[in-house]
Structure 1
Amino acid sequence: MKVLIVSHSRDPYCPDLVAAALKARGAEPIRLNTDQYPTSVRLNLAPSSAAERSELLTGPAGERFSLDELGAIYFRRLALARNLPDEMPKPHKEAVYHECYAVLQGMLACSDAFQLDPFERVYQADNKPLQLKLARQLGMTVPETLTSNDPEAVRAFYHRFDGDIVAKPLRALTIRDDDVTRVMYTNRVREEHLRQLDSLANGPMTFQQYIPKALELRITVVGERLFCGAVDSQRGDKSRVDWRRDGAGLREEWRPYPVPEEMRRRILRLMDALQLNYGALDLIVTPAGEWVFLEINPAGEFVWMQTATGFPIADALAETLLGQAARRDARRVASPA
Structure 2
Amino acid sequence: MTVLILTGEEDVTADMVVVRLNAASVPVVRLDPADLTAGVALSGEYVHGSFRGHLSAGGRLVSVSGLRSVWVRRPGAPAARAAHPSPWLTEEAGQALYGMLRGSGARWMNHPDAAGRARHKPWQLRLAQRCGLPVPATIVTTFPQAAREFAARFPDLVVKPVSGAHPQEPPRAVPTSRVAPDTDFAAVAYGPTLLQRRIAK
Does residue 185 in structure 1 map to residue 183 in structure 2? no
What is the TM-score of this pair, normalised by structure 1? 0.54
Unaligned runs of 5+ in 2: none
Q: Secondary structure at the match of 1:122?
A: helix
Q: Secondary structure at the match of 2:140?
A: strand
Q: Counterpart in 1 of 2:188? A: 200
Q: Counterpart in 1 of 2:152? A: 159
Percent of paired sites with the same residue: 30
What is the TM-score of this pair, normalised by structure 2? 0.88
Q: Counterpart in 1 of 2:131? A: 138
AA in 1 matched with 2:200: P
- The alignment's C-alpha RMSD in Å is 2.2
AA in 2 matched with 1:8: G
Q: Counterpart in 1 of 2:71? A: 74
AA in 2 matched with 1:85: A
Q: Counterpart in 1 of 2:104? A: 111
In 2: Cα distance, 1:35 partner to 1:95 partner = 14
The C-alpha deviation readout for 1:299-327, integer Å capped at 9, x for no partner, is: xxxxxxxxxxxxxxxxxxxxxxxxxxxxx
The C-alpha deviation readout for 1:139-198, integer Å capped at 9, x for no partner, is: 32211111112211111111101x211111122324554xx5425421111124x22x32
AA in 1 matched with 2:22: K
Q: Secondary structure at the match of 1:182?
A: coil
Which of residues 110, 114, 119 in structure 2 aligns to 1:126?
A: 119
Query: Alpha-carbon deviation of 1:77?
Result: 2.9
Q: Counterpart in 1 of 2:199? A: 211
Q: Counterpart in 1 of 2:60? A: 63
In 2: Cα distance, 1:30 partner to 1:57 partner = 9
Distance 1:175 1:71, change over 3 A: same
In 2: Cα distance, 1:129 partner to 1:108 partner = 29
The C-alpha deviation readout for 1:179-222, integer Å capped at 9, x for no partner, is: x5425421111124x22x32223322211111223xxxxxxxxx
Unaligned runs of 5+ in 1: 214-337
Distance 1:115 1:206, change over 3 A: same
Distance 1:47 1:186, change over 3 A: farther
In 2: Cα distance, 1:18 partner to 1:125 partner = 24
In 2: Cα distance, 1:185 partner to 1:18 partner = 31
